[in-house]
Amino acid sequence: MAVTKKDIVLKISNETGIKQIDVKRVVQSALDKITEYLAGGQTVELRNFGIFKVKSRRGRLGRNPRTGQEVPVPPKKVVVFKPGLVMKKDVK
């Protein structure tokens, strides 16, 4: 079962006593800023958590699995995540 943003907001709200609506605003704002920096081509480093960065993938020739026909796959940018040391240690 996946943990949702709502689950995170509820947990933080219960642990801190801060209203859910205020926690939701802060969490959403943080996620928006991370997205904004990545869209601008910047790397986002959260100490002991990990690093988010944008990598470019080259265009290539793919294959349609139904027909077997070769199709061009255009180049694109993807977000990659590299976990930090603390996360690597805790998530085994």
Instruction: List the chain domain ranges.
Output: 1-42, 44-92
Q: pLDDT confidence of 7, banded at 50, 70, 90?
A: very high
Pairing of strands 60-63, 50-57: unpaired
Whether 63 has a pLDDT exceeding 90, the answer reads yes
C-alpha–C-alpha distance, residues 77 and 55, integer Å: 6
Q: Decide which of 4.10.520.10, 2.60.260.40, 1.10.10.60, 1.10.3720.10 is the CATH code for 44-92.
A: 4.10.520.10
pLDDT at residue 92, rounded to an integer: 82
SS3 44: strand
Residue 88 vs residues 1, 22, 31, 47, 50: alpha-carbon distances, Å: 21, 30, 22, 12, 9
pLDDT the model gives residue 65:
93
What is the reported pTM?
A: 0.80
| 8-35 per-position pLDDT tens digit | 999 999 999 999 999 999 999 999 999 9
Read off the pLDDT of each residue in 73-92 and give the average, rounded to a whole number: 93
Helix axes 5-16, 20-39, angle to 10 degrees: 130
Residue 1 clears pLDDT 90, i.e. is over it: no
